[in-house]
Amino acid sequence: MTPCSESRKEATSPIPFLSSKKISKIGTWNVRTMFEANKAAQIARERRTYNITVLGLCETRWTQSGQVRLNTGEMILYSGHEEEDTHHTEGVVFMLSHDAQNALISWEAV
């Protein structure tokens, strides 16, 4: 037992994401919609082609908020309309590479 709920695991520093010795590419893309089958997989292929670490996507047209992990390993953090039964007209997504996922501590949709 350690004082103040400190443990060895909590004391370790997070994996560095942004450093002067490592190149991290951050990009944005207006995809116009991700409300189609296989669109997320297509965007993930493009992210890997350009070796983008964090990809911001707008006009995804997804509702509610949450996170999804693709079969290819990318993590998707999404936020849209709060109501599920509304029109699919808005929405934003962050698609994170494996390195960016390791650096993520927490997130909250607003």
Residue with tokens 């996170």: 67
Task: Give the CA count within 13 Å in the CB-facing half-sphere of 81.
Answer: 12
| pTM exceeds 0.85 | no
Q: What are phi and psi of 42, to 5 degrees?
A: -65, -45
Summarised one tens digit per residue, pLDDT across range 63-86 is 999 999 999 999 999 999 888 788
* Structural domain boundaries, residue 77: 24-103
Let me know if residue 93 belongs to a domain: yes
Does the pLDDT at position 1 exceed 90?
no
Does any domain span residue 110? no
Residue 79: inside a domain, yes or no?
yes
pLDDT tens-digit readout, 49-58: 999 999 999 9
- Residue 62 belongs to a domain: yes
Note the pLDDT tens digit of each residue in 17-66.
667 788 899 999 999 999 888 999 999 999 999 999 999 999 999 999 99
Residue 18 within a domain: no
Total domain count, the chain = 1
Residue 4 belongs to some domain of the structure: no
Q: What is the mean pLDDT of residues 81-94?
A: 87
7 in a structural domain: no
In a domain? residue 13: no
